[in-house]
Amino acid sequence: LPLRETEMLELSGRHLRKLPTPVCSLSTLQKLYISGTGITELPDEIGGLQELRILALDFNKLEEVPETLCRLPHLTRLYLGSNRLFGLPAEFSQLKTLRCLWIESNYLYHFPQVLLQMPELQSLQMGDNRLKTLPSGLPLMKGLRGLWLYGNRFEEFPKPLLRMSQLHILDVDRNKLTEFPDLSHLRRLRLFSYDHNPVEAPPNVADTVFVVGEGAQEFLEAREERLQALQQQKPFFVYSPLHPHNN
């Protein structure tokens, strides 16, 4: 297969000072992996990869995301973890097809406001940054299903999360949280992880949520016993208008 017609290119682990420009002329490329190469910047020509779906740039030395990267019309997954990023450019919201963004282990002191303009984003990995608060507009991200906020600097449970009713996964491990509000109204939540916080007890969550953290095992066991007891108390015959004996 000629290189110019390839759909996937793996350059991870190679020592590159910069991305070879010819790579940016691969018009059919859909997956590009450039993890752990030591690159510090990307060429403007990367905007030429118009068919790109997946781009892995983690474990490099990038200090900013170039505007041209924001012009990739089909990009669905972008991995930017373990770089030197302090934020994202305003043009980032042009990535209308992006569904998965991993930007963990960077230098984010503030939640990038541009992400609030990306309601289709489903998975947002922001662990090991410097965040202390979340913007009140966070619920605008209606598509978000997984949010990882472990290893940040939250001292209070961020109130905008209370309005994220569509979340399935929420990870706040390794912060400085001492208490939780009632989370039982988050009916779609399936996994809540709060390990390594100074909080003394798990939060009140819906019975469908699996919790991970200090005291979680006892909490889950007690809940299981309660649910089993309720199950045993249910009458054998339940009235239903569709039940043949009720017609």
Residue 29 lies in a domain: yes
Q: Where residue 23 sits, what CATH number does that domain have? A: 3.80.10.10
Residue range of the domain that includes 189? 131-229
What's the Cα-to-Cα distance from 88 to each of 127, 200, 227, rounded to whole Å?
16, 36, 46
pLDDT at 243 over 50: no
Please tell me whether residues 174 and 215 are part of one structural domain: yes
Residue 100 lies in a domain: yes
Please tell me whether residues 1 and 100 are part of one structural domain: yes
68, with CB counted inside 10 A (0-12, 13-18, 19+), is middle
Please tell me whether residues 94 and 58 are part of one structural domain: yes
Residue 241 lies in a domain: no
Please tell me whether residues 146 and 89 are part of one structural domain: no
Q: What is the pLDDT averaged over residues 211-220? A: 90
Q: pLDDT by residue (tens digit) across 174-201?
A: 999 999 999 999 999 999 999 999 998 8
- Angle value at C-alpha 204, between 108 and 184, nearest 5 degrees: 85
Please tell me whether residues 1 and 89 are part of one structural domain: yes
pLDDT at 238 over 50: no
Q: How many domains does the chain have?
A: 2
Q: What is the pLDDT averaged over residues 215-225? A: 89
Residue 38 lies in a domain: yes
Please tell me whether residues 201 and 143 are part of one structural domain: yes
- Per-residue confidence (pLDDT) for residue 236, from 0 to 100: 47
